[in-house]
């Protein structure tokens, strides 16, 4: 079942079109929404929460229509805002408990869920101290806790890794992964950094200028290709074996692309693998590396981006 489904979703403001006929289908699991700043990510989240009407098109969240069933959606969904939104003078416990009450939980349940949730996001004794003294990583955990405290079926996380150092970023990404694997809650997470979603998400949706660039399972993005990378040792006499290997492989009928000391060899089927091995063996040079190449999402994104050069800068960030 899809947790989010949009159909030609369009949002026009007087001066800009934030979403342009966006049709996506988000299945259960962890899904990343990638796009540069201003690509329409926050607009999409607002529409999905039923807080902002779409100009055209339809959207359903957990099977509920955003236009007519917004209140029910907001009961079952958790939302973590992008920007700093925490009062500094109350403790994480007080704050998250208040937010649990604001989700309709009775006070006893709110207290229990708050303690549980803060523990799950990794806040321990510091949860009794005022939030003002927390690090960015701890604040992000509090924001995540308030989105999870009412046990939603889906959480929408807006740039949860923003402002975190590399270690904090990894911890947050692990936590996001666990929200699905351990808690059974689907996650829709936005980021302008493509790379970090690679290992966290099951699916990735790429948007740019409010348009869908690509929506795919992560494993398809990074699927294995029919390209092997071959690296060989120098010959016994000290000359470079790469030239000989290239010649031999081409002679064996395989297309070869040279990249310094690396040879990228395209193979059509299983036998190509054997051909490479036998050809190199026949030359008598040492085989240093024989590796199946995988796409990285970034490459796919770069490929798409060449058609949309205006966002090159953000791609460089990714």
| Selected range binding another protein among 3-11, 104-112, 275-283, 299-307, rule: CB under 8 A | 104-112
Q: Is 284 in the site for another protein (CB under 8 A)?
A: no
List the interface residues with another protein, window 144-163 (CB under 8 A): 146, 150-151
| Selected range binding another protein among 90-98, 226-234, 292-300, 305-313, rule: CB under 8 A | 90-98
Binding mask 182-201 for another protein (x = CB under 8 A): xxx-----------------
Among 7, 65, 116, 198, binds another protein (CB under 8 A): 116
CB of 40 to another protein, least distance (A): 17
3-state secondary structure the chain: CEEEEEEEEEEECCCCEEEEEECCEEECCEEEEECCCCCCHHHHHHHHCCCCCCCEEEEEECCEECCCCHHHHHHHEEEECCCCCCCCCCEHHHHHHHHHHCCCCCHHHHHHHHHHHHHHCCCCHHHHCEHHHCCHHHHHHHHHHHHHCCCCCEEEEECCCCCCCHHHHHHHHHHHHHHHHCCCCEEEEEECCCHHHCCCCCEEEEEECCEEEEEEEHHHHCCEEEEEEEEECCCCCCCCHHHHHHHHHHHCCCCEEEECCEEEEECCCHHHHHHHHHHHHHHCCCEEEEEEEECCHHHHHHHHHCCCHHHHHHHHHC
User: Which of 120, 192 has the CB closer to another protein?
Assistant: 120
Among 10, 17, 52, 266, binds another protein (CB under 8 A): 52
CB of 273 to another protein, least distance (A): 43
User: Which of 143, 169 has the CB closer to another protein?
Assistant: 143
Q: Is 129 in the site for another protein (CB under 8 A)?
A: no
User: Which of 29, 195 has the CB closer to another protein?
Assistant: 29
Q: Is 69 in the site for another protein (CB under 8 A)?
A: no
Among 101, 177, 214, 264, binds another protein (CB under 8 A): 101
């Amino acid at each position: 079942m899809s947790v989010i489904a949009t159909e030609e979703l369009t949002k026009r403001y007087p001066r800009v079109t934030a979403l342009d006929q966006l049709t996506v289908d988000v299945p259960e699991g962890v899904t990343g929404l990638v796009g540069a700043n201003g690509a329409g990510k926050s607009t999409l989240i607002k529409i999905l929460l039923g807080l902002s009407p779409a100009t055209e098109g339809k959207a359903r969240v957990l099977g509920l229509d955003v236009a007519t069933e917004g209140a029910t959606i907001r009961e079952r969904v958790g939302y973590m805002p992008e920007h700093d939104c925490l009062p500094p003078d109350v403790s994480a416990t007080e704050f998250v408990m208040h937010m649990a009450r604001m989700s309709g939980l009775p006070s006893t349940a709110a207290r229990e869920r708050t303690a549980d949730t803060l523990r799950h996001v990794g806040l321990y004794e510091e949860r009794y101290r005022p939030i003002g003294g927390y690090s960015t990583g701890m604040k992000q955990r509090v924001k995540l806790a308030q989105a999870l405290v009412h046990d939603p079926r889906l959480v929408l996380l807006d740039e949860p890794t923003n402002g975190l150092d590399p270690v904090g970023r990894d911890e947050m990404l692990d936590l996001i992964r666990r929200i699905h694997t351990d808690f059974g809650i689907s996650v829709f997470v936005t980021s302008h950094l493509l790379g970090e979603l690679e290992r966290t998400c099951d699916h990735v949706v790429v948007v740019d200028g409010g348009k869908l660039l690509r929506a795919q399972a992560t494993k398809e993005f990074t699927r294995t290709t029919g390209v092997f990378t071959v690296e060989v040792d120098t010959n016994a006499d000290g000359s470079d074996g790469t030239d000989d290997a290239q010649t031999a492989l081409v002679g064996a009928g395989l297309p070869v692309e040279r990249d310094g000391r690396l040879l990228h060899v395209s193979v059509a089927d299983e036998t190509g693998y054997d051909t490479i091995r036998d050809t190199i063996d026949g030359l008598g040079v040492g085989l240093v590396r024989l590796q199946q190449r995988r796409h990285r999402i970034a490459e796919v994104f770069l490929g798409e981006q060449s058609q949309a050069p205006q966002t090159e800068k953000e791609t460089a960030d990714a």
